[in-house]
Amino acid sequence: MISVRNVLVGLAFAFTAYLAARGLWWTAPVPQPLVVLVALALYLATTWLCLFWEPAGAAPAAPPADTPPGMAPRGPSRLPMIAAVLALSCAVLVPSAISIAVGHDSRTASFATWYLGGIGALMTIVIVRRRTWTAWIGIAALAIASMIWMGPVSALALGLVGSVVWVASAQLLLRSMDRAARDTARLTQLQRAASAWQASQVGRQRERRVQIQQALAVAGPVLARTVSSGGELDADDKLEARLAEGRLRDEMRGPRLLDDDVRTELERARRRGANVTVLDEGGLEGLGEKSLAIIRAQLADTLRSASSDRLYIRTSPHETIAVTVVGRSAAGAGWSDEDAVELWREIAHPRVD
């Protein structure tokens, strides 16, 4: 499969092979050719190991502190420590080995200065593999060795500056890629948050429309009779208005607690004169319809046997209690905080397999 990564790896492979091949193009006698060949082999093995080695299960590079959670920066994986140490050893040994092997008179020849670009390319690979300090230490070792063997002016003129520029450019490019990846991750999070907010608004609008339709269905007949009678309601109409108000409050405050049986029992309690309060204060989120049906059935049974003058039905955020039903009646004349508690029922979360 052809990808940008594969193309870049192929180019790096070809370029490092070309630089090493320059070391074999001898235009003058080489006093110690075996040392040159060993140095070339060490360089190629190390370079290609750093280029291709990605051990399975290796720990990824630690993302920067400002990276959004769950969003690691994209790009090459972190170079294993063994390969990093080998690359640093190559940067220290190869320049001196080549300079010694070709002799004093050939140290500035093209076949003897290939390591300036070769080690620079190796350190560029190392820094792209997220071993920044290793790469810069290797460049420092290259600079020191090349200046010792061929002189500062010759080293700078024959390729040392280019190697430093390669490594610095690679570091800047990698930082830019990581910054772009973080910005993309943040933008993705913002887009997801915006989509979620929009979806929630659409859901709330739909829910409001449903509630308005239910309100019209419940209160519409009562309002129509109120208008037609000019506000003069008899006892039955007032009772129906009070029942309609209670049904509307139930639908707005605790819709997850309601089904046909619960609605029937709530209306029966109100018709006998009880004051009923239904509140959904959380705790039922995430329950399936089967669990809600069990809770509603127990609630309907509790209301069916209740005879209290006041009924309080509240959901509970407790991990085991789903709904609490409290029934109270007046202890004497009027109501007070010491009214007798006649009913206390806690409906537990059902265990649904």
The reported pLDDT for the residue numbered 165 is 93
147, 174, 192 - which closes a domain: 192
The reported pLDDT for the residue numbered 61 is 52
Q: How many domains does the chain have?
A: 2
Contact predicate 51/13, CB 8 Å:
yes
The reported pLDDT for the residue numbered 239 is 78
- Asked if 15 and 92 sit in the same domain, the reply is yes
User: CA 145, CA 277: separation in Å to the nearest integer?
Assistant: 87
Exposure letters 193-213 (e unless 16+ CB within 10 A, then b): eeeeeeeeeeeeeeeeeeeee
- Residue 265 one-letter amino acid: E
150, 171, 192 - which closes a domain: 192
Taking the chain (353 residues) in consecutive chunks of 10 residues, what is each chunk's mean pLDDT?
A: 72 81 75 87 89 68 51 68 91 90 81 87 90 91 90 87 90 88 88 89 81 71 72 74 82 85 90 89 84 91 89 88 88 57 88 64
Report if residue 326 sits inside a domain: yes
The reported pLDDT for the residue numbered 168 is 92
Radius of gyration over every alpha carbon of the chain, rounded to an integer in angstroms? 40
User: CA 326, CA 310: separation in Å to the nearest integer?
Assistant: 8
**Which residues form the domain of 39?**
4-192
141, 174, 192 - which closes a domain: 192
- Asked if 43 and 118 sit in the same domain, the reply is yes
Report if residue 51 sits inside a domain: yes
Report if residue 240 sits inside a domain: no
